[in-house]
A and B are shown apart, each in its own frame.
Chain A
């Protein structure tokens, strides 16, 4: 009996493995502390949680969003977005990843910044169900005059009510600027950084 149960445990283990278990060496950033602002996406008075981590494949950065239970404050994962940013293990030390508050409503802002001046930022519209992408920006390495070789800025949601957004601007290394409508707010769980135009990719 004991042997059978042991075998069942071994067999069943991977089947019922919690998808939200994460290894310490994959964690790149945690955004939770109240001191950053009111990161309470479901408005229940308890802080919610955003975590960025190296993907299982090791070539991208994933985002986990968790919101609190209004009664117990216990956190429950509501969204996982795979591949929000690229990750290149050969560039450790050259690239810094971060997550923190973005804009005035303190939604999670995931970013990397490279020593050559290149950077990428994804601002998330965190909701209890069905989060979206607010904006994405990507900048190529900095030139001698301080300007970026490539500028890509996509604003999907007009959170400030400026009535001139959404907007998308792409300026390639040739200096040619293209402006166009970026389309509707992407569904967070379905969007990857590789969805950007190829000129915007690092």
Chain B
């Protein structure tokens, strides 16, 4: 389903009707609007589709306030305008602002000659969740997923790490051996996908 986004619609209203990662725009004239204060992170200057032209990424708090949506612009082949826009609603959790909720975007070099991999980080309350994304032939997919839960103090913290590249995942607690956890196929970046991708014990 490919659709052009309606003008002057709120982003939250628009994304609600799309499946994850749908292509919704084909040019810089397309309008998806949200309030400035809903923006939580942004990144420019990195080339994720490997055409030597910087792409753009924006994270904005959703209407419910419990997650952030991802807006990802890729440069077009000519390099003189921004091309496609992918939207991933509720790609990471958000905590109430009073809990110190904040988000950031970092970058890792996958390997020499390959595009950088954007990593989205979410902090809030006693939970940290980070996902590294990769642009594949099937579109954007999670490459790794990390979580850190410290609800009962650092001594009882729980760290989970899922690596979809190797198919390995483990859960770590202080003073205990790392415990392997089951990892399924690479999940689709559907809204609130991390809630099912991470075992319940990682987020309690």
Contacts and interface: CB of A to CB of B under 8 A. Distances in A.
Interface in A51-100: 51, 64, 66, 68, 72-77, 89-90, 92-93, 96-98
Nearest to B103: A33
Nearest to B39: A30
A51 B60 CA distance: 12
A54 B186 CA distance: 36
Contacts of B66: none
Interface in B35-72: 35-37, 39-45, 52-54, 56, 58-60, 71
B35 A21 contact: yes
B190 interface: no
Given A51-B39, A92-B82, A21 B44 contact: no
Interface in A1-46: 18, 20-25, 27-30, 32-36, 46
A108 B104 CA distance: 16
Interface string B75-108: 1000111100100000000001110101110000
A155 to B, nearest CB: 26
B31 interface: yes
Contacts of A18: 35
Q: Bin chain B's interface residue count.
A: 35 or more
Contact of B80 (A24, A29, A74, A93): A93
A37 B56 CA distance: 23
A20 B42 CA distance: 17
B37 A30 contact: no
Contacts, number: 115
A64 B39 CA distance: 11
B contacts with A: majority SS = strand
Contacts of A93: 52-54, 75, 79-80
Contacts of B135: none
A24 B97 contact: no
B145 interface: no
Contacts of B31: 23, 25
Given A27-B56, A93-B54, A34 B102 contact: yes
A49 interface: yes
11 contacts: A22-B36, A24-B33, A27-B58, A30-B40, A32-B102, A33-B102, A74-B37, A75-B37, A75-B97, A89-B80, A98-B45
Interface of B: 11, 25, 28-37, 39-45, 52-54, 56, 58-60, 71, 73, 75, 79-82, 85, 96-98, 100, 102-104, 123
Interface of A: 18, 20-25, 27-30, 32-36, 46-47, 49, 51, 64, 66, 68, 72-77, 89-90, 92-93, 96-98
